């Protein structure tokens, strides 16, 4: 690989890490996509990124599609390429973004899975009879109450919680901060956890070994075990609780903007997927209840 290609890639990833403050997992995804782009540039014998043409990038997408790469993965790859060449354009290294106008296969719209209200109740109502149960009840109530991402919940410290106001300061994607409400059941579970751990303001709310913050893997493992013990046989994972929170709120309130703010979505289009879930629920109720809808 030419030094010019490698240098530009390194500067872009540093820009994402330092200035955009992307998470390590997101940076890994960008680096993986750019590695594929590098390999293609090498096969073409390119020395500088300005030599890459749209048709050559389209050919790479077509090749990856034929090899079985999923449309969603191709879309993420193309999005990375667009961001990369926008960065290079700002730096004066390219005059045209070759990724503009390149199309990836259409991604089928996949609705998120959710737990219904009864399933959520079954998951959350386990006996709180030991220290681990106190911890896990607070963890699950917090994930469901405030619709948090797993990376957000493990980064929380007690100073982020205003228990009197029922509010929580959350740092989300891109280090953006938002204030979200915390329900009464979650506040009760959190009060029991803090009393149990005698935690100071700077201590993590969810603690793992040696007082360090619980890992995202630890959250997934504990949640999976609780679901199994409670007889919830669906595949249960942290983001499922976030989806369930959003779906239940939208079903009850119909306030899409409020759900967008709660979840920290930059684009309301991301939140709108939950309206499709609500329509599915309406369709099921209609089919079951309307006398002219029932099938013989």
Q: Which of 38, 48, 224, 239 is catalytic?
A: 239
173 annotated active-site = yes
Q: Which of 173, 207, 224, 281 is catalytic?
A: 173
Mean pLDDT for the chain overall: 85
Question: Can you tell me the distance from the alpha carbon of 249 to that of 147, in angstroms, rounded to the nearest whole number?
Answer: 10
Exposed/middle/buried for residue 152 (C-beta within 10 Å: 0-12, 13-18, 19+):
buried
DSSP state of 215: P
Q: Quote the pLDDT of residue 282.
A: 46
Question: Can you tell me the distance from the alpha carbon of 246 to that of 235, in angstroms, rounded to the nearest whole number?
Answer: 18
Q: Could you give the domains of the chain?
A: 3-90 (1.10.150.130), 117-287 (1.10.443.10)
149 annotated active-site = yes
242 annotated active-site = yes
First to last CA, the chain: 67
Residue in 77, 76, 79, 99 with CA at minimum distance from that of residue 89: 99
Half-sphere exposure of 174 (CA within 13 A, CB side): 6
pLDDT band at 152 (very low <50, low <70, confident <90, very high): very high
Q: Quote the pLDDT of residue 1.
A: 45
Q: Which of 135, 149, 226, 248 is catalytic?
A: 149
**For residues 162-178, average pLDDT:** 87
Q: Quote the pLDDT of residue 284.
A: 57
pLDDT band at 142 (very low <50, low <70, confident <90, very high): very high
pLDDT band at 296 (very low <50, low <70, confident <90, very high): very low
**pLDDT tens per residue, range 212-261:** 999 999 999 999 999 999 999 889 999 999 888 888 877 777 677 777 77
State the DSSP H helix or E strand holding residue 169, giving kind and residue range, or none if neither: strand 167-171
Q: Quote the pLDDT of residue 276.
A: 60
State the DSSP H helix or E strand holding residue 79, giving kind and residue range, or none if neither: helix 71-90
Which token pair is 88?
A: 């290079």
Q: Which of 40, 242, 243, 248 is catalytic?
A: 242
Which token pair is 41?
A: 């540039």
Which token pair is 278?
A: 């609500």
Structure-model confidence comparison of residues 296 and 70, the more confident one: 70
Question: Can you tell me the distance from the alpha carbon of 130 to that of 178, in angstroms, rounded to the nearest whole number?
Answer: 33
Q: Which of 265, 281, 292, 294 is catalytic?
A: 265
SS3 (DSSP) at 67: coil
Residue in 16, 97, 102 with CA at minimum distance from that of residue 55: 102
Residue 291 predicted with pLDDT over 70: no
Model-level pTM? 0.61
274 annotated active-site = yes
**For residues 151-172, average pLDDT:** 92
**For residues 180-204, average pLDDT:** 92
**pLDDT tens per residue, range 258-284:** 777 777 776 666 666 666 655 555 455
Which token pair is 69?
A: 């790469």
Q: Which of 22, 30, 144, 274 is catalytic?
A: 274
Q: Quote the pLDDT of residue 278.
A: 54
Q: Quote the pLDDT of residue 273.
A: 65
Question: Can you tell me the distance from the alpha carbon of 38 to that of 46, in angstroms, rounded to the nearest whole number?
Answer: 9
């Amino acid at each position: 690989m030419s030094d010019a290609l490698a240098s530009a890639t390194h500067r872009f990833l540093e820009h994402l890490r330092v200035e955009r403050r992307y998470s390590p997992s997101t940076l890994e995804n960008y680096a993986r996509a750019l590695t594929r782009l590098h390999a293609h540039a090498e096969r073409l014998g390119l020395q500088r990124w300005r030599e890459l043409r749209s048709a050559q990038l389209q050919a790479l997408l077509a090749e990856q599609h034929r090899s079985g790469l999923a449309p969603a993965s191709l879309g993420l790859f193309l999005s990375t390429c667009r961001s990369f060449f926008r960065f290079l354009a700002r730096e004066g290294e390219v005059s045209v973004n070759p990724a503009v106008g390149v199309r990836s296969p259409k991604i089928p719209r996949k609705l998120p899975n959710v737990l219904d209200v009864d399933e959520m109740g079954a998951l959350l109502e386990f006996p709180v009879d030991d220290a681990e149960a106190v911890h896990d009840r607070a963890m699950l109530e917090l994930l469901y109450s405030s619709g948090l991402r797993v990376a957000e919940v493990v980064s929380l410290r007690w100073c982020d919680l205003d228990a009197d106001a029922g509010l929580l300061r959350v740092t989300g994607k891109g280090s953006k901060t938002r204030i979200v409400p915390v329900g009464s059941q979650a506040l009760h579970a959190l009060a029991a956890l803090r009393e149990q751990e005698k935690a100071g303001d700077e201590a993590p709310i969810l603690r793992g070994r040696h007082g360090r913050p619980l890992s995202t893997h630890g959250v997934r493992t504990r949640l999976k075990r609780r679901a199994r013990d409670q007889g919830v046989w669906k595949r249960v994972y942290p983001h499922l609780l976030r989806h369930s929170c959003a779906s239940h709120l939208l079903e009850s309130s119909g306030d899409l903007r409020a759900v967008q703010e709660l979840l920290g979505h930059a684009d309301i289009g991301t939140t709108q997927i939950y309206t499709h879930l609500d329509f599915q629920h309406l369709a099921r109720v209609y089919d079951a209840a309307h006398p002219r809808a029932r099938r013989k």
